[in-house]
A and B are shown apart, each in its own frame.
Chain A
Amino acid sequence: MLATIRRLVEEQGRLSAAADTLRDDADLYASGLTSFAAVQLMLALEEAFDVEFPERMLNRRSFASIAAIASCIAELKPEEVA
């Protein structure tokens, strides 16, 4: 799951650093993630994991790091963790 998230962050995040150089808990906003790119990233995550982000997850924190995204996905799709 983390590898897929990392790939999508690389493709959609338009960050100043390559995604594979980022630690799981690195702040994506400090690397240049904009709110626009965060929405694009969310749509790509929904497509890749076949989930829908519910309203309560639609905030800045949910996309703040690869780890934060992973915990959202884990909550939406527990079977992905296994």
Chain B
Amino acid sequence: MNAPLDRGATVVAAAALHADDVDRRGRFPAEAVQALKDARLMSLLIPTELGGAGAPLADVAELCTTLGHHCASTAMVFAMHQIKVSSLVAHGMESEWHRGFMRRVADAQLLLASATTEGGVGGNLRNSICAFERDGDMFRVSKEGALISYGAQADAILVTARRAADAPPSDQRMAVLARGQYRLERSGEWDALGMRGTCSEGFTLSGEAPHEQILASEFADIASHSMLATAHLLWSSVWFGIASDALGRAQAFVRKDARKRFDGPSPGALRLAEASTKLQLMRANIVEGLRRFERANSEPDDLNSMSFAVTMNNVKVGSSELALEIINHALLIAGIAGYKNGTPYSVGRHMRDALSARVMISNDRILGNMSTLLLAQRIDARLGD
């Protein structure tokens, strides 16, 4: 029995019920997120000693996939929240303030958002222009042009900035700002092709808080140890949910068609077989990535290695490309019934939502970074570990 997934049943129902409205109006999936809070799923990754469920990342990934079947925006909001929680768990356990904050996240089922980008850094989250400006026991920070998904709905925001006013752009730290400690000024709207419910609007964020709310670890370590890895794994799990639902619809179409025909399977049946190969590749890529992540967590050297970074980047690039290929096949199989909205075989929303996959940290940027890493990292020619 899988307890978190059982608790997810009401969430799934809420996500499915409002998915079309969330998409059409480009609104936050408030009902499904409330259901996630009611089911106490926001604190899945938080250790039990701090009031969470102490679940492995694979449980969160499974829930991302299940939500992705019904409402990709809800699934992505849930994924992005858990990515922030994973950074707190990985880097905040030594700090009294952050332990207390994790307890608050579990008690009040707080929704965490992320402000890691900034106008003027060209989408490179490993560079900051703004800085944590220390003033006694407090710091101040002001970040312009930050794209903050569900920023207006979040209960707290994890924000990156340069360590201090005189630190170089790549010497970053990350701080927690709870609601009440920051102000948001909307600078851009979110009227997008897909993932319309994530409400990833542009904001100017300014805030101040006690210095102890800044995590001690360098952001470079937070990014490579927890954030990028969990982001690539959980995003991919969401996309797997979208792609597998699209293919399930295409299969239903082929089966319905096959019952009416007596001259063998329809031409679409071949595409279904082809797409099932791609779906299996996608699944294997993600599952292997999750295993590698769990293994690396008990071996700090592995977590730090280029090989780990290359593997996680490959999970993201591979699954984002495969998701689109699979949904494209589903569309070919179901034809006009798939192209139209409002049929049991519609995959239009799936396609629009999944198109975000290649641009959420652009695959071209990731491939560029990987090509640098591959000047050092050797190609792994083994099948085993």
CB atoms of A53 and B304 under 8 A apart: no
CB atoms of B171 and A53 under 8 A apart: no
Per the 8 Å Cβ criterion, residues 36-50 of A in contact with B are: 36, 39, 42-43
A69 to chain B, nearest CB (A): 14
Q: Which residue, of B163, B168, B304, has the highest number of chain A Cβ atoms within 10 A?
A: B168
Q: Say which residue of B168, B220, B307, B369 sits within 8 Å of A58 (CB atoms).
A: B307
> Is chain B's interface secondary structure helix, strand, loop, or mixed overall?
loop
5 cross-chain pairs, A with B, having the tightest CB-CB distances, nearest first: A32-B168, A59-B304, A16-B168, A58-B306, A59-B305
CB atoms of B305 and A32 under 8 A apart: no
A-B contact count (CB 8 A): 54
Encoded as 1 (CB less than 8 Å from any B CB) or 0, chain A from 45 to 82 comes to 00000000101101111000000000000000000000
Does A30 sit at the interface, judged by CB under 8 A?
Answer: yes
Which residues of chain A are near B168, meaning CB under 8 Å? 15-16, 31-32
Which residues of chain B are near A15, meaning CB under 8 Å? 168
Known interface pairs A32-B171, A36-B369, A58-B305; A53-B376 also in contact (CB < 8 Å)? yes
Does B126 sit at the interface, judged by CB under 8 A?
Answer: yes
CB atoms of B304 and A55 under 8 A apart: no
Chain A residues with a Cβ closer than 8 Å to the other chain, count: 20
Encoded as 1 (CB less than 8 Å from any B CB) or 0, chain A from 21 to 36 comes to 0000000011111111
Per the 8 Å Cβ criterion, residues 222-269 of B in contact with A are: 224
Does B298 sit at the interface, judged by CB under 8 A?
Answer: no
Known interface pairs A16-B168, A29-B171, A34-B126; A58-B221 also in contact (CB < 8 Å)? no
